[in-house]
């Protein structure tokens, strides 16, 4: 049986188009725990490195420079909180701590530790190293998920004084608090 040139070209075109579609989709890493841990560690290494002006990066820098490291919902909530804080310089209306370190006084280094599966993603414990000593308990536990061919942060979990909380819940409470706060009427401030 002979195949016409037209049929061969059509078949080859379909095969090429299909391969291009699948080539653009990155497969989930085979060792997902190690890959998730590596993603988290690389973010913290970058985050604590000095910028061009000799200062450490802020959460705002992370939003600007590492946008793709954050899930859409987490990015949107962090950006809204940052924008609200920028508009209210005289009053704390947003986060009053670094959400990636869970601290106002960060350690000099952070290391990724134990990785635990959670749903479609992982929780990666992150320990601060202060004055050369690794903290006994995790300072923060980022939650990561593999989406659109890359790892992204979907939340950050905290355990302070026996209480558990997470960044998305804190940001939601802050947003709701700002919404309830009455706008200052300029006519009553004279």
Q: Tell me if 120 sits within 8 A of 98, measured CB to CB.
A: no
Give residue 52's pLDDT: 62
- Residue 98 CB partners (closer than 8 Å, separation 6+): 58, 59, 104, 106
pTM of the model: 0.78
Mean pLDDT of the chain: 83
Residues in a beta bridge with 115: 124
pLDDT tens digits for 14-50?
A: 443 444 333 444 566 777 999 999 999 999 999 999 7
Structure tokens at 154: 């979907």
User: What percentage of residues in the chain have a pLDDT greater than 90?
Assistant: 58
Between these two residues, 54 and 63, which has the higher pLDDT value?
63
User: Which sign does the torsion angle of CA 178, 156, 122, 38 carry?
Assistant: positive
Does the pLDDT of residue 3 top 90, yes or no?
no
Structure tokens at 69: 């490291």
Pick the CATH number of 29-181 from 3.40.50.2300, 3.10.450.50, 1.10.238.10, 3.30.70.260: 3.10.450.50
pLDDT tens digits for 142-167?
A: 999 999 999 999 999 998 877 789 99
Q: What is the mean pLDDT of residues 80-94?
A: 82
- Residue 94 confidence class, pLDDT cut points 50, 70, 90: confident
């Amino acid at each position: 049986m002979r195949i016409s040139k037209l049929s061969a070209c059509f078949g080859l075109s379909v095969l090429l188009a299909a391969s291009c579609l699948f080539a653009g989709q990155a497969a989930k890493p085979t060792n997902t725990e190690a890959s998730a841990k590596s993603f988290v560690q690389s973010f913290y290494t970058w985050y604590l490195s000095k910028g061009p002006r000799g200062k450490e990066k802020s959460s705002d820098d992370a939003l600007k420079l590492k946008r793709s490291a954050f899930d859409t919902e987490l990015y949107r909530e962090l950006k809204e909180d940052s924008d609200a804080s920028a508009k209210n310089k005289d009053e704390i209306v947003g986060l009053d701590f670094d959400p990636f370190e869970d601290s106002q006084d960060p350690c000099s280094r952070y290391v990724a530790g134990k990785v635990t599966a959670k749903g479609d993603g992982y929780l990666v414990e992150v320990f601060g190293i202060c004055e050369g000593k690794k903290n006994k308990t995790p300072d923060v536990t980022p939650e990561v998920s593999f989406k659109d061919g890359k790892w992204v942060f979907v939340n950050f979990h905290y355990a302070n004084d026996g209480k558990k909380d997470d960044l998305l819940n804190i940001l939601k409470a802050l947003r709701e608090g700002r919404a309830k706060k009455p706008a200052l009427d300029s006519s009553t401030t004279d």
